[in-house]
Structure 1
């Protein structure tokens, strides 16, 4: 099975898993900046910091957002599914390396918060569950893409290594060709040297004979003077 097919199959499985995400949303209270508020809680497993960034991006779609140390406020949030009127939304996020807990209070006006069984609760619950599903899905996609990127890098590394080895083989062949030529040249040189040695022997014999002849000639000239 090639990489593309495996990657496609993985995303199909992720899509199926996404449809089965079941996140628990429950009502509760929290004190934010010394003010007690009623709202909804949601805990999501995963990279806490990334979940917080995703939630911040979600909140920005509701209106002008202000943030300070894990507390987010959208004073005139527009969330038609919960209320046709602007909502004073306050949310806090507490994160760890493996999870994030979100608390969100929806003030419909004059401290009238969305609570269990009240107006907008079902929509608010669905909103958080949908966010959780999308967040988990995005994390799985990110993990899959990270795995794909790693596999792609490993593949590129292997290809480059293969190209390097091929160049080394070609270089080795060239070196071998040079060495064989040197061996051939060396053999020819040795053959010529052997021939030169034989020629030199003849030259030495000729030179020795000439030397002896010249010596005899000198002696003969000196002998004439004595007579």
Structure 2
């Protein structure tokens, strides 16, 4: 129950942070290969490396992607929601253990970038917000799956412990049966020893009588010789 409560609390926290992060899209500039490019920024909280991987997968849906030193390019990207014409997309990602900041520049051709005030700026903004919501969902799924895996491992451990305890009970019962048999055998052995002692006493008495008789016989024989 404690594990379930922690997972529920974590999911709720992710939802709150995700809703806030979904709005952290803003216009800005960055320098790529000594060229200053205008574009849009998106900052997300979470596992930065995983968010970067999610963004890479998203970029691959737009066309053939190339990556070099944290810079991603998709020449002739097909992003119909932003422009019916091919877009030369350039993106950078700066990730940490707890967050990722994505920058993306949409070049519609001839250096005509999507910027604030353009008719398609809202569509580009919506694209990043959609990715933010998708990333939030993926984080929730991963968190839930991690919680499930932990619960499953805990359950399996409990089952294994139960099976081990059952085996120990069975072994204990067998040991008890063996000991009870040993006690029974010991009692029978003691009874036989007591009988053997009584028999030995009789044998000793008979042997003593026989010894005395033999002694008297020897004395009688000697007495005849003396006469």
**TM-score exceeds 0.5:** yes
Q: Gaps spanning 5+ residues in structure 2: where?
A: none
* Corresponding residue number in structure 2 for 1:124: 124
* Corresponding residue number in structure 2 for 1:93: 93
1:115 aligns to what SS in structure 2? coil
Displacement, 1:91?
Answer: 0.2
Displacement, 1:15?
Answer: 8.6
Q: Gaps spanning 5+ residues in structure 1: where?
A: none
Pairing of 1:158-197 with structure 2 (within 5 A): 158-197=158-197
1:111 aligns to what SS in structure 2? coil
The answer to whether the 8 Å contact 2:92/2:103 transfers is yes
The answer to whether the 8 Å contact 2:106/2:113 transfers is yes
1:94 aligns to what SS in structure 2? strand
The answer to whether the 8 Å contact 2:21/2:44 transfers is no
Seen in structure 2, the aligned counterparts of structure 1 residues 60 and 118 have a Cα distance that, compared at 3 Å, is same
Over aligned residues, Cα RMSD in angstroms?
2.4
Cα distance in 1 between the residues matched to 2:166 and 2:196:
44
Cα distance in 2 between the residues matched to 1:69 and 1:225:
132
Displacement, 1:24?
Answer: 1.7
Cα distance in 1 between the residues matched to 2:190 and 2:205:
23
* Corresponding residue number in structure 1 for 2:46: 46
The answer to whether the 8 Å contact 2:71/2:90 transfers is yes
Displacement, 1:159?
Answer: 0.7
The answer to whether the 8 Å contact 1:43/1:99 transfers is yes
Cα distance in 2 between the residues matched to 1:143 and 1:207:
93
Seen in structure 2, the aligned counterparts of structure 1 residues 98 and 105 have a Cα distance that, compared at 3 Å, is same
Pairing of 1:13-32 with structure 2 (within 5 A): 22-32=22-32
Cα distance in 1 between the residues matched to 2:140 and 2:150:
15
TM-score, normalised to structure 1, is 0.91
The answer to whether the 8 Å contact 2:25/2:125 transfers is yes
TM-score, normalised to structure 2, is 0.91
Cα distance in 2 between the residues matched to 1:15 and 1:101:
19
Pairing of 1:1-227 with structure 2 (within 5 A): 22-227=22-227
Deviating above 3 A after TM superposition, structure 1's stretches of 4 or more consecutive aligned residues are 10-22
Displacement, 1:120?
Answer: 1.6
